[in-house]
Amino acid sequence: EVQLVESGGGLVQPGGSLRLSCAASGFTFSSHSMNWVRQAPGKGLEWVSYISSSSSSIYYADSVKGRFTISRDNAKNSLYLQMNSLRAEDTAVYYCARISFNWFDPWGQGTLVTVSS
């Protein structure tokens, strides 16, 4: 079964840092590009970041550029999102999602990040 499981969310103060992880199983992780997508409470989906299978191509949404870093470890079948200088508006459920050509499937169950003092 193809599965993505996020972890690492929690409560952090404004200006703080957090590292999210996404463990992949059931498919050849090293062959697929991956993404982070977030959803603020009661709001819609927002694409955050993309990383190609070999990490050669990386993209960020303007809202997180310069503060977030996406990375992956193909040997560990894992995707990461290092989040620095966190703001209240970064509060959201963060999903990792595999991308095939131009659609996301599957998605993980999400991990909640709350930025508050």
Partner 1 sequence: QSALTQPASVSGSPGQSITISCTGTSSDVGGGHYVSWYQQYPGKAPKLMIYEVSNRPSGVSNRFSGSKSGNTASLTISGLQAEDEADYYCSSYTNSSPVLFGGGTKLTVL
Nearer to partner 1, 23 or 99 (CB): 99
- Position 68 contacts partner 1 (CB under 8 A): no
Q: What are phi and psi of 31, to 5 degrees?
A: -100, 0
User: Which of 29, 80, 94, 95 touches partner 1 by CB under 8 A?
Assistant: 95
Q: Judged by CB, which is closer to partner 1: 75, or 101?
A: 101
Q: Does 117 bind partner 1 (CB under 8 A)?
A: no
HSE, side-chain direction, 13 A CA sphere, residue 42: 1
Residue from 72, 85, 58 nearest 22 by CA: 72
| Paired sense of beta strands 103-107 and 92-100, if any | antiparallel
Residue 109 interacts with partner 1 (CB under 8 A): yes or no: yes
CA-nearest of 38, 17, 20 to 84 is 17
How many residues of this chain interact with partner 1, rule: CB under 8 A?
A: 22
The residue ranges that bind partner 1 (CB under 8 A) are: 35, 37, 44-47, 50, 59, 61, 95, 99-110
